[in-house]
Amino acid sequence: MITLNNIVTDYSIFNKHKNKTGQISFRDNDHQDLTINNLFIPGKNFSRETGRTWLHSLYNIQPADPLPIKEGLREVSGIKRELKKRTCRIYKVEEEKLSFMADFAENVDKIPYFNNRKLFKILNNGIYSVAIDIGKNPKTNENEVLKISSEPNYPDALERRFEPVFDMPVFKQGKVDGLYYCVQAKGTKEGLTPRSVRQVGLRIENKGYKLGDDFDEIQVMMYKGQPYLVDPACAELV
């Protein structure tokens, strides 16, 4: 599942909270936004339970400036240690994702496709996966999203065909050290309507698949004027 925001707008967050030396300052407010190791963590990613603060999402975590993918993944996964120093607890599923992001960072050099690419921010995360904005591919001029998952996350891994009539385009896919990864086109919610979502659902069913239980507008995005499914697991083999 992917929720998109304007990168320029997102980076304005940092400009608001720079101190006179130009450094990002740690701040506390009603939302408890944090900056750790130059990574901004929105306050809405935290909750207060049993008298403790918990991290329950990786949504919109981003560096002040884009980082090489390997370095960016290491920095994001490193918040686990820093949050625990602050007596902040982490949901088990989020802790597992931080761990496999660290594992993927150690293997990303094996995949030439990611040479010289950067991590802009975490777009969203599911139970077993994270979606990362990796910016524009200089060779194709396509804005791309890297998805890393501990479970199959592209059609071939799900043992079904890629269906161009409804699947969001995939530019790279594979498995490394037990982790699945794929690079999809970066879609938008702009122009998406309930009719668009129904259209994708019908296309899935007309191709002989069953809609997954969690199929809804969250799993559909617009790309080049057409709606596409961004979570291939929502088109299940019958």
Predicted local confidence at residue 31, as pLDDT: 54
Tokens coding 62: 């981003």
What confidence score (pLDDT) does residue 21 get? 37
Closest CA to 13 of 29, 28, 35: 35
Residue type, 45: N
Euclidean distance between CA atoms 231 and 215, whole angstroms: 9
pLDDT at 125 (0 to 100)? 79
The pLDDT assigned to 124 comes to 85
What is this structure's pTM? 0.85
What pLDDT shows up at residue 30?
A: 44
**What is the per-residue pLDDT for 37?**
87
Res 126: pLDDT: 82
* Mean per-residue pLDDT pooled into runs of 10, the chain (238 residues): 33 39 37 87 92 93 97 96 92 95 97 97 90 97 97 96 98 97 97 97 98 95 98 96
Half-sphere CA count of 55, side-chain side, radius 13 A: 30
pLDDT for residue 6? 29
